[in-house]
Amino acid sequence: MRVSKFKDAEHLVRLAVVCAIVLVVFLLVRAHFIPKSFGEYGHYRGNALAELSSKPISYAGHQACEDCHADVLEVKKTGKHAGVNCEACHGPLAKHAEDPGSVVPQLPDTAVLCARCHEANIAKPKWFPQVVSKEHSGGEVCKSCHVPHSPLQQPGDKKS
């Protein structure tokens, strides 16, 4: 029995159409799921860089503090704490730097704060000034004898 050539060709066309549809659906799904910026710089979403760098900050940075508190900087820069940044003791204050009126920083408790760094520990480097606070001050707050911004000065000294 002879099979018509025309019918064979029609089968092939149908198969091709089905393949084309599958291909188009695949391309559509792929286009939908791959973000536009993927591959912009490498095998990752390029927009992620901008998103990561646009996150908000908590610590304003010492430059922001020094812009307004130049008087404190004057005291600090002559003393042993010249290299200690403001927020290392005063905590994260980006909100205060943004709007100084609405967010007022709390004064840290020097009895706790100073001991964090200066409590004696054998693992601390030998050059670092350390005290056993019980023997050194007997629970007295450090700022009764030391100016925190320049610890070798005593309260009441000039420029303190």
Partner 1 sequence: MITRRKLLMLLPAAAFAWKYVLAGTPEISPNYNRSEHWWGMLLDIDKCIGCGNCVRGCATENKVPDGYFRTWVERYHVSDWHQETPQVDSPNGGKDGFPPSTAVDGKNFFVPKMCNHCVDSPCTQVCPVGATFDSPDGVVLVDSSYCVGCRYCIQACPYGCRFLHPTTHTAEKCSLCYHRITKGLTTACCENCPTGARQLANLKNPADPIHEFLKTHSVQVLKPYLATGAKAYYHDLDGSVR
- In the complex, the residues that contact partner 1 under the rule CB under 8 A are 20-21, 24, 27-28, 31-32, 34-38, 41-59, 61-62, 81, 83-85, 87-89, 91-92, 116-117, 119-125, 127-128
Non-local CB neighbours of 113 within 8 Å, separated by 6+ positions: 89, 142
Identify residue 112 by its one-letter amino acid code: V
d(CA 127, CA 113): 20
Cβ proximity to partner 1, 9 vs 28, nearer residue:
28
CB of 149 to partner 1, least distance (A): 13
Asked if residues 122 and 116 have their Cβ atoms less than 8 Å apart, the reply is no
| Per-residue tokens: 142 | 């450090």
CB of 50 to partner 1, least distance (A): 5
CB of 32 to partner 1, least distance (A): 7
Cβ proximity to partner 1, 4 vs 53, nearer residue:
53
| Per-residue tokens: 110 | 């020097």
